[in-house]
Chain A
Amino acid sequence: MTAEALLAWARGPGMQIALAVFFLGITVRIVEMLLIGRAPDLAAPRKSGVAAGWRTVFHRSLPTPGMLKRSPLVFVGGYIFHLGFLIVLVLSVPHIELFHGVWGIRWPGLPRSLIDLAAILSIGAMVALLVHRLVDPVRRFLSRSGDYFAWTVTFLPLITGYFATHHMLLPYTQMLAVHILSIELLLIVLPFTKLIHTFTLFLSRWYNGAIAGRKGVAS
């Protein structure tokens, strides 16, 4: 298969398969979770849990007092990785062109130098977090193959995207095909790995906030 044919497959059928698995997978995982259900709380509430639930959805993105000092690398590395990944995904011009092709809407992108910076910071943070996972006693103790697998499939789109835009390692067409395939791999495995936290964390935070909020407890 030539690089062009591989790229064409990745852009066409490959992407469609990946998106189908992704959306179907997410739906199945969320539905199987919601179907379990939850007993109503019969205790007289101090106040409604709804507001606290929503507040916690957002507020839990901020570090809690003292914890920034206790786990600085996890916090700082976590922020840089997530924000960098998001910036590259949503604000790089080639990605915006792709979204425009699918949804017909367009938004302003960032200059390539800034996208490069976000990508490098995100890649650096991921490497630091991986080293921390391997070296820190708690993280190493908690980590299973799934954690390293999730790291790898998240890392690949970042690094191959960077290589592709900078014409490194492989010819551009080949690297672009690899980049798109790595995104498809990420899409396919996301619903079935811990990467599903991308979606479920909002529900988890909401439950945490709502359970605490009914009792008038900070969350």
Chain B
Amino acid sequence: MTSLENGINAFVEQIDTPIASFFNSCVHCGMCADACLFYTETGDPKYTPIHKLEPMRRVWKRNFTFWGKLAAMLGLSKPVTDAELEEWEPLIYDSCTLCGRCSMVCPVGNDITYMIRKAREGMVAAGHAPDGLKGATVRAVEIGSPMGVTWKTVQAQIKHAEQDTGLTIPVDVENAEYMVLMSSMEVVNFPEYMGAIARIFDQAGVSWTLCSDAIEATNSGIQIGSSDIAAQLVQRIVDGAEKLKVKTVISPECGHAYTAIRWEGANLIGRPYSFKVLHILEVLDELREQGRLQTEGMETAKLTFHDPCQLVRRGGVVEEPRRLLNMVASNFVEMPDAGVWNWCCGGGGGVSANERADELRLKVFSRKKAQLDAVGVETLVTACSNCRIMLEDGAEANNMDLQIVGMAETIAAHLPTKTSTTATEESSS
């Protein structure tokens, strides 16, 4: 079978009743364009979200509709060609972050993001995925991390975190309440996350562990659109969690990892989990609600929160970060469109791993910049290390004076000193 046939078959396999209904319903009103930062910031109509699905629409029409099948039989319609898929590759991968805004505005109710996620299955099967994303996926499968981070690197971070906090970072502890996952970016770029978690959990008296077989939460398979690989990566986490018999797996400060583990994972491996999955923001908010998360002092700098798309629009985590920030910040302001209407950092959905898209990504950062300029803050808090890198990159490119931090470290900076017995014992030993 040629790669084109593979691709077409994958499209056919992905098309379900919702997708057929969505294609049937589209009236070409163009409202999805106005919701997409790739269109609003470039003014180029080719970035209209529904247009990105043109090859998939043609496969649907030819294979799933009465007239389409008839036309195909009579040789009246042209099948999708390899050249067309090649042409669409940048539209589907470089100019869509799976942010989900289009799905919220479509007047006929089309979940366009759901369609693009599925269309990527066809694209990758046809061999039309960006090299950067392919590389990340290969590393995720072979090394265990899209950035090539090995358990050795994690161990070095554990050592650092233990030295910094004076706490023991638990590894492979059975029957712990929580199993903590991380993203490679946290291991490499934001090691403060691990220390922050250790200190917060110590103070709250939470039993937790890392798993040496399953540390990586991100899932390049989801981003590139390969369900087989995505399932393999999820399976590592499921095996780790089941081996250690933990009650809950915590998705780190990452957007798509949450979508991967919380919402797609069970479907990818074909069975429900025996454990719960929560985002770290949900865990921290639960601890806050139970009175186990105590803080002291307030940030006085004017700060705002950037909602990661996969949490706020595709994941259902909206109020948690706001309640947490209000605990530790006296001057927390919201950007225009904050919350479910927040604009993407520009690098979600695998765009950040795709160097080809860098220029476009930085161009459309103007949307984020406008949002930030409207509030004029000193500090920007977020809960996704990919957003964080992208925001840092965009801020630097635009000479913006902005401190960008993660939520866990922001909370950890306000933990009361030495209230927990464990911490006292540890530091005195």
Contacts and interface: CB of A to CB of B under 8 A. Distances in A.
Nearest to B277: A44
A34 B19 CA distance: 11
Contact of B15 (A36, A46, A140, A215): A36
A71 B34 contact: yes
Interface stretch (A2-10, A131-139, A159-167): A131-139
A142 B312 CA distance: 29
A207 interface: yes
A34 B46 CA distance: 31
A204 B16 contact: no
The binding surface of chain A is classed by DSSP as: helix
A207 B340 contact: no
- Size band of the interface chain A makes with B: 35 or more
B22 interface: yes
Given A39-B16, A66-B337, A215-B263, A143 B28 contact: yes
Contacts of A218: 104, 313, 318, 340
A9 B16 CA distance: 42
Interface stretch (A14-22, A99-107, A115-123, A190-198): A190-198
Interface residues of B, number: 60
Contact of A38 (B16, B51, B110, B337): B16
A29 B24 contact: yes
Interface stretch (B72-80, B266-274, B384-392): B266-274
A142 B17 contact: no
Given A28-B66, A71-B31, A219-B104, A211 B111 contact: yes
B21 A42 contact: no
16 contacts: A29-B24, A32-B64, A33-B17, A36-B15, A38-B17, A39-B267, A44-B273, A57-B109, A60-B106, A140-B45, A141-B45, A194-B26, A196-B24, A204-B109, A207-B17, A216-B316
Interface in B270-309: 270-273, 276-277
Given A29-B66, A141-B45, A211 B114 contact: yes
B48 to A, nearest CB: 6
A157 interface: no
A197 B27 contact: yes
Given A141-B51, A208-B111, A215-B314, A42 B272 contact: yes
B110 A138 contact: no
A66 B25 CA distance: 23
A174 interface: no
Contacts of A67: 31, 34-35, 105
Question: Which of B33, B67, B271 is most buried by chain A, counting CB atoms within 10 A of its CB?
Answer: B33
Nearest to A41: B267
B25 A32 contact: no
A65 B21 CA distance: 25
A43 interface: yes
B220 interface: no
Interface in A127-176: 136-144, 147, 150
A43 B383 CA distance: 22
Given A39-B267, A43-B264, A211-B114, A203 B21 contact: yes
B416 interface: no
A39 B271 CA distance: 12
Contacts of B64: 32-33, 36
A219 B104 CA distance: 6
A65 B104 CA distance: 10
B28 A70 contact: no
A203 B16 CA distance: 13
A217 B313 contact: yes
B55 interface: no
A201 B110 CA distance: 8
Given A42-B267, A138-B39, A203-B21, A192 B109 contact: no
Contacts of B28: 139, 142-144, 147, 194
Interface in B80-117: 103-111, 114
Contacts of A37: 16-17
Contacts of A109: none
Contact of B105 (A64, A143, A147, A203): A64
Query: What 4 pairs between A and B have smallest CB-CB spacing?
Result: A205-B109, A216-B316, A141-B45, A42-B266
